[in-house]
A and B are shown apart, each in its own frame.
Chain A
Amino acid sequence: MDSLFSPEEKARLARSSVLLIGCGGLGSPIAYQLAAAGVGRIGLCDMDVVDISNLQRQVLHYTTDVGRLKVESGAAKIGGLRPEVEVELHPVALTRENARDLFARYDLVIDGSDNFATRYLVNDACVLTGRPQVHGSIFRFDGQITVFHPGSGGPCYRCLYPTPPPPGSVPSCAMAGVIGVLPGFVGSLMAMEGLKLLTGRGSTLNGRLLIYNALDMDVAEVQIRRSPTCPICGDNPTIHELIDYELFCGGVGE
């Protein structure tokens, strides 16, 4: 088997589209690497501006970008690498009002967000629109990565965690800290999974969750399954509409 994407696979990438939620720690390597691979259309969704405390890990942004919208800074870097990639900027908060329409315009959603409110919204919107999703999260020295593919028989985020944690129970990056290299690892893996989903090449992490610890340089794999009692993708779903959690979930930005 070819060690790189074949010409047909590259053509498929050029015809495909990805919505990247978050242009921060995880979004940084993902944006570079999707562009490098020649994904035809990349939507960047992030309403934040670059802060100096981002630069220790968010390599998509330069020091002169401080104060600039992250989606604009990200589009400039993508253009520097592959100007033929069409970049769409969505400097908006993802909400129950806009998520379904936005997701319907892309083949794949990659969730590089940093808070539970967004993770649940992304998951639910992916299930309701039938979009596959690459999921990743980071905390201090730990990371998790998997793929959720509605309709494939695999699980969704709510199969693992049916409801969000109580408000204020989870510290943000600002409170807990994060080693700068961590999102580089997790985000790169996420990008690779995204490219495989778009091309159909290889085996993705659908049904497998990778658990990474940077201090131990250890990667563990656990099997994850669809839950028949899942409130959104189970046999008798109870969730049919999107829910905005941020009001009571303490969804703080990075």
Chain B
Amino acid sequence: MSLTEQEILRYSRHIILPEVGGRGQKRLKAASVLIAGLGPSGSAAALYLAAAGIGRITLWDPGLVTPADLEAAIAHDRHRIGMPRARSAREALAAINPDAEIFVLDRDSDVAGAVPEHQILVASAGDWHDLHQEAVRYGVAAVFAATHGATGAAFVHKPGEACLDCIPSEKAAVCGLRPEGDAPSVAAAAGVIGVVAATEAVKLILGTGSLLTDRVLCYDGWEARFRESPVSRRHGCTTCGVE
């Protein structure tokens, strides 16, 4: 996969970075990401992944754009109230980057079934258990991120590393590592966590950096504090199957 002249201009600030280069930008172009959830965190993640040059993005969300979304989720617009969130976000992403191939899954479709067709899953909503099972089964790297109010958390599963089910539930609960519901969040805090998710997805594709695979990152927007909670593979985990 090569880059066009326009793409070389568009991504020049990436290409000049030794950690990305033309090679890394081509990897981003060849990559496919499934974004499950286009609420507060997913909105920010989606805009940044499209801007970064991910070649193929699939969007899914169970909800419709509501007036409350305009206070929390920046991929939407008041003219798209009532539209499925995934379709609404597609408009913003395509406007930012018309070169990206953007697909939309129906609200009631089997999103977990789409996981194996992608290189990376970024999940902020939906049934994390189902999504996670499919990711582990098919060796798809997964980024889990969600914001509730002004606090949020992010975690990355990569094949061979700890999975979501290795994390003791009380540890996940403390940080709020659970899917976003319909309760609105503070968009700025969700932006922090959503962009963390996008950053981890980009690093997974580039194969560089130290990932949130062995720790959960928690952000408390009211206090402006970040906390890390270490995670390791759990003996006897029935999902990722360490004996």
A binding-site residues for B, Cβ under 8 Å: 1-5, 29, 32-34, 36-38, 52-53, 55-59, 61-64, 80-83, 140-141, 173-182, 184-185, 187-189, 191-196, 201-205, 208, 210, 214-219, 221
Contacts and interface: CB of A to CB of B under 8 A. Distances in A.
A192 B19 contact: no
Given A188-B191, A196-B222, A215-B208, A80 B78 contact: yes
Interface in B170-195: 183-192, 194-195
Contacts of B71: 36-38, 82
Contacts of B19: 141, 179, 215
Given A181-B48, A192-B186, A217-B211, A140 B17 contact: yes
Interface stretch (B94-102, B106-114, B126-134, B158-166): B94-102
B224 A205 contact: yes
B44 A184 contact: yes
24 contacts: A4-B149, A29-B191, A32-B187, A33-B74, A36-B187, A37-B188, A56-B12, A56-B52, A56-B53, A62-B95, A80-B79, A141-B209, A178-B13, A180-B52, A181-B48, A181-B199, A182-B199, A189-B188, A210-B224, A214-B199, A215-B209, A215-B210, A216-B210, A217-B199
B78 A83 contact: yes
A64 B95 contact: yes
B74 A81 contact: yes
Contact of B13 (A63, A173, A184, A191): A173
A242 B225 CA distance: 34
A181 B187 contact: no
A60 B186 CA distance: 18
A195 B47 CA distance: 22
Chain B interface residue bracket vs A = 35 or more
B209 A216 contact: yes
A53 B8 CA distance: 9
Contacts of B6: 52
Contacts of A5: 186
Given A62-B95, A81-B74, A177-B14, A29 B209 contact: no
Contacts of A37: 71, 186-188
Contacts of A34: 188
Contacts of B198: 181, 184
B74 A185 contact: no
A196 B225 CA distance: 14
B9 A52 contact: yes
Q: Is the interface of A mostly helix, strand, loop or mixed?
A: mixed
Nearest to A182: B199
B74 A4 contact: no
Interface string B13-53: 11111011000000000000000000000001001100111
A184 B195 contact: yes
B52 to A, nearest CB: 5
A217 B217 contact: yes
B150 A62 contact: no
**Nearest 6 Cβ contacts at the A-B interface:** A3-B149, A188-B191, A202-B222, A177-B16, A184-B195, A36-B187
Contacts of A179: 14, 17, 19-20, 199, 202
B67 to A, nearest CB: 10
A176 B233 CA distance: 38
A1 B210 CA distance: 35
B14 A180 contact: yes
Given A184-B48, A192-B188, A55 B10 contact: yes
B52 A204 contact: no
B56 interface: no
Contacts of A1: 222
Contacts of A81: 70, 74, 76-78
Contact of B223 (A56, A61, A203): A203
A81 B72 CA distance: 10
B38 to A, nearest CB: 14
B222 A56 contact: no
Given A36-B70, A185-B192, A217-B211, A59 B51 contact: yes
B209 A63 contact: no
B224 A185 contact: no
A203 B51 contact: no
B12 A53 contact: yes
Contacts of A175: 16
Interface string B45-70: 00110011100000000000000001
